[in-house]
Chains A and B, each alone.
Chain A
Amino acid sequence: MAKIIVVTSGKGGVGKTTSSAAIGTGLALKGHKTVIVDFDIGLRNLDLIMGCERRVVYDFVNVINGEANLKQALIKDKRLDNLFILPASQTRDKDALTKEGVDKVLQDLAKDFEFIICDSPAGIEAGAMMALYFADEAVVVTNPEVSSVRDSDRILGMLSSKSRRAENSEESIKEHLLLTRYNPERVAKGEMLSVEDVQDILAIPLLGVIPESQAVLNASNSGQPVTLDQESDAGQAYLDTVSRLLGENVDFRFLSVEKKGLLKRIFGG
């Protein structure tokens, strides 16, 4: 049975698409057949982050409208055999998604894939609701600052009331907190909320903490999911996150200020 995981946040620009790409890639790296679905109709970005923007022919909306079949729209990743992307339409808007249509596409994907990652658009309107409606689990991406935390709280409320599981009174969606852009130095100076602060407010289990890193920006610009950059702290943190998502027990890293050695201080680093 395929697991549908929505990556959501409420607030924009916190790293949903980056995290969707990184988690999807991480799952594929660990041998699980995974598809990442871009729900951000009209603001298509996932293809850029995944580096497949030139290969988009048909999209999600085409499939829903019956203008193409799933096979035609799915883009196979060039680096990993068991990773696929279902791109969003750039020319349509979010009303192009219907509940019945999305349900049908997800059911068809579930026959083939182990994990379906739904990259949600920002906001709490129809598009975001559609992305979370069918989810089994949710990764709530949050930056350590108050507005992002409040928006995440709002989305958590939606997850527990507006999803299919909530409407059918089934077991509720499993919620995970993913803290991104975490900067231990700024936390130490009191300029940023700490992991404990955010957890205290949101009160859901912590799935991962991704340090603020130049590697993330580089990865996005070059269309390489950051998980593939296993030298980088962010890449390692995302791999840890994926392990935890698979139920492994992994210690948290990159939470405290790194002490710089003498040489590093002299030569910079």
Chain B
Amino acid sequence: MSEPFFELKGSLFPLSVIHSTDLSEAAIRAALEQKLSQAPAFFHQAAMVIQLTPEHDAIDFIALKHLFQELKLVLVGVSGASPEQKALAQQAGLASLRLGQNSKPSPSQPQTTESTSSSEVRVEEVPMQTKLVEQNIRSGQQIYAKGADLIICGAVGAGAEVIADGNIHIYGSLRGKAIAGAAGDSSKRIYCQNLQAELVSIAGHYWLSESLQGDYWTKQCCIQMQGDSIAIRDL
């Protein structure tokens, strides 16, 4: 069988979305420069999308595009555009994107932005992917959910390792090792139905089996960071 030489496939990519009430070049430049000074490598040539609202008017997309280029960022498109805004964006060679159903920010969702930026600019990460495993993880097996949450419908055996950059949910006994927030995010958590772990770790902080032999041993629980140390609580 020969491979088809051309295919179109739908794929999902994480994009940073800029929300700001003021889309003038000067305001965006100030806010972005401040963001970049915090983590220059992280945003290098990062693809970005600007979230529009009907209140925005007469935006100079061409100037913004040049600004992004200058700052070594790539402005790929706009989201939530009105027909007029769409036409303007198209002239600047930007795509008009629509948010997927699940990625609309819900109004009750707490804002995760640090209050560092002067205006209301915030860079929002699109929700993480999820890796689903519907079997027992046996001794010696290792599962890594890169940039994703990990859901295991089964048990994690002694000597097995489950690792995720996001949260870990285990709908079975956890007898092996579980490492959440592997990329360093300490807000990630581990949920399990029966705690008998060899090790649990969140963002590099870890507890061995010895420290886990408390009230929650063999019980269902949630493991999370509380300040600088790991804490376990009821589900």
> Which A positions have Cβ atoms within 8 angstroms of B?
124, 150-151, 153-154, 156-158, 160-161, 200-201, 203
Residue of chain A at shortest CB distance from B159: A150
Set of chain B residues within 8 Å of A154, measured between Cβ atoms: 138-140, 159
Chain A CB within 8 A of B158 CB: yes
Among A154, A156, A157, A160, the one with the most B-chain Cβ atoms within 10 Å of its Cβ is A157
Contact of B140 among A157, A201, A203 (CB under 8 A): A157
Chain A CB within 8 A of B113 CB: no
What is the CB-to-nearest-CB distance from A198 to chain B, in angstroms, rounded to a whole number? 12
CA gap between A160 and B143 in the complex, in Å: 14
Set of chain A residues within 8 Å of B159, measured between Cβ atoms: 150, 153-154
CA gap between A160 and B173 in the complex, in Å: 19
Residue of chain B at shortest CB distance from A152: B139
State which residues 150-205 of B face A: CB under 8 Å: 154-155, 157-160, 173, 175
CA gap between A117 and B138 in the complex, in Å: 24
Question: What would 4 more interface pairs be, CB under 8 Å, given A153-B159, A157-B138, A160-B138?
Answer: A150-B157, A154-B138, A154-B140, A201-B155
CA gap between A158 and B137 in the complex, in Å: 11
CA gap between A156 and B141 in the complex, in Å: 10
What is the CB-to-nearest-CB distance from B220 to chain A, in angstroms, rounded to a whole number? 16
Residue of chain B at shortest CB distance from A160: B135
Please count the residue pairs between chain A and chain B whose beta carbons lie under 8 angstroms apart in the complex.
39
CA gap between A189 and B137 in the complex, in Å: 31
Contact with A along B131-149 (1 / 0, CB 8 A): 0000111111100000000
Cβ-defined contact, B139 with A153, below 8 A: yes
Cβ-defined contact, B157 with A201, below 8 A: yes
Set of chain A residues within 8 Å of B136, measured between Cβ atoms: 156, 203
What is the CB-to-nearest-CB distance from A97 to chain B, in angstroms, rounded to a whole number? 22
Interface of B, helix, strand, loop or mixed by DSSP: loop
State which residues 100-138 of B face A: CB under 8 Å: 135-138
CA gap between A55 and B93 in the complex, in Å: 83
Set of chain A residues within 8 Å of B157, measured between Cβ atoms: 150, 153, 157, 201
What is the CB-to-nearest-CB distance from A140 to chain B, in angstroms, rounded to a whole number? 11
What is the CB-to-nearest-CB distance from B187 to chain A, in angstroms, rounded to a whole number? 31
CA gap between A160 and B135 in the complex, in Å: 10
Residue of chain A at shortest CB distance from B196: A201
Set of chain B residues within 8 Å of A157, measured between Cβ atoms: 137-141, 157, 160
Jot down 16 A-B pairs with beta carbons below 8 A, ordered by A: A150-B158, A153-B140, A154-B138, A154-B139, A154-B159, A156-B136, A157-B141, A157-B160, A158-B138, A158-B140, A160-B138, A201-B155, A201-B157, A201-B158, A201-B175, A203-B136
> Which B positions have Cβ atoms within 8 angstroms of A?
135-141, 154-155, 157-160, 173, 175
Cβ-defined contact, B175 with A156, below 8 A: no
Cβ-defined contact, A153 with B158, below 8 A: yes
Residue of chain A at shortest CB distance from B141: A157
Nearest first, the 9 A-B pairs at minimum CB distance are: A157-B138, A153-B139, A154-B139, A153-B157, A154-B140, A157-B141, A153-B138, A156-B138, A150-B139
Set of chain A residues within 8 Å of B160, measured between Cβ atoms: 153, 157
Set of chain B residues within 8 Å of A203, measured between Cβ atoms: 136, 154-155
CA gap between A157 and B139 in the complex, in Å: 7
CA gap between A201 and B196 in the complex, in Å: 11
Set of chain A residues within 8 Å of B138, measured between Cβ atoms: 153-154, 156-158, 160
CA gap between A203 and B159 in the complex, in Å: 16
CA gap between A157 and B161 in the complex, in Å: 12
What is the CB-to-nearest-CB distance from B87 to chain A, in angstroms, rounded to a whole number? 49
What is the CB-to-nearest-CB distance from A132 to chain B, in angstroms, rounded to a whole number? 13
CA gap between A124 and B136 in the complex, in Å: 19
Set of chain A residues within 8 Å of B175, measured between Cβ atoms: 201
Residue of chain A at shortest CB distance from B155: A203
What is the CB-to-nearest-CB distance from A123 to chain B, in angstroms, rounded to a whole number? 13
CA gap between A150 and B157 in the complex, in Å: 8
Set of chain B residues within 8 Å of A160, measured between Cβ atoms: 135, 138
CA gap between A150 and B140 in the complex, in Å: 10
Residue of chain B at shortest CB distance from A204: B136
Set of chain A residues within 8 Å of B173, measured between Cβ atoms: 200
Set of chain A residues within 8 Å of B135, measured between Cβ atoms: 160
Set of chain B residues within 8 Å of A200, measured between Cβ atoms: 173
What is the CB-to-nearest-CB distance from B128 to chain A, in angstroms, rounded to a whole number? 26
CA gap between A154 and B158 in the complex, in Å: 9
Residue of chain B at shortest CB distance from A151: B139
CA gap between A161 and B160 in the complex, in Å: 14
Residue of chain B at shortest CB distance from A157: B138
What is the CB-to-nearest-CB distance from B192 to chain A, in angstroms, rounded to a whole number? 15
What is the CB-to-nearest-CB distance from B144 to chain A, in angstroms, rounded to a whole number? 15
